[in-house]
Amino acid sequence: MKISKEKIYLIGNIISVTFVSIVLIWAFGENNIYTQLFILPFIICALAKLCEYIFLLINKDKFVPICQLIFKISFNIYVFGLLIYAFYYSIKNEAYSSFIFLIPFIIIGIILLRKLIKK
């Protein structure tokens, strides 16, 4: 029985994402609530990718868009949460010049969100 290159690629991705998920879950359990909140979106993204690769491997393609949507939503929540925190921190410390640094990230975040909403 010959295994296709695509299946070998998927198996490699499953192994690497599984390793990353295990490390993230371990780090989640070992840290305080603030660090856990920072790690949680990465765990959700990793598990969504893991499920996506498994569904592709077993030819259940109809579930792949659901996994991709979960990944995109979790990633956007992380990006905007980080931007909101950066704005809060800048205002709290009266470091208004950092807004110039945040503007490109806001633009990128809005573009990513628009792409998510359009699909």
99 vs 93: CA distance, rounded Å? 12
Give the per-residue pLDDT at 119. 64
Q: Which residues contact 8 (CB under 8 A, 6 or more apart)?
A: none
State the total domains in the chain. 1
Q: What is the pLDDT along the chain (119 residues), one digit of tens a residue?
A: 577 888 889 899 999 999 999 999 999 988 888 888 888 999 999 999 999 999 999 989 899 999 999 998 888 888 888 888 888 888 888 887 887 888 888 888 888 888 877 76
Tokens at residue 90, please?
A: 């800048």
pLDDT of residue 31: 86
User: What is d(CA 83, CA 27) in angstroms, rounded to the nearest whole number?
Assistant: 23
pLDDT value at residue 45: 92
Give the global pTM.
0.78
Q: How far is 57 from 42, CA to CA, in rounded Å?
A: 22
Question: Is the separation of the CB atoms in 43 and 25 below 8 Å?
Answer: yes
Supply φ then ψ for residue 30, to 5 degrees. Answer: -95, 0
pLDDT score at 101: 85
Q: What is the pLDDT of residue 62?
A: 93
Please give the pLDDT value at position 98.
Answer: 82
Give the pLDDT score at 111. Answer: 87
Tell me which residue range forms the domain holding 110.
Answer: 5-118
Confidence at residue 82, expressed as pLDDT on a 0 to 100 scale = 85
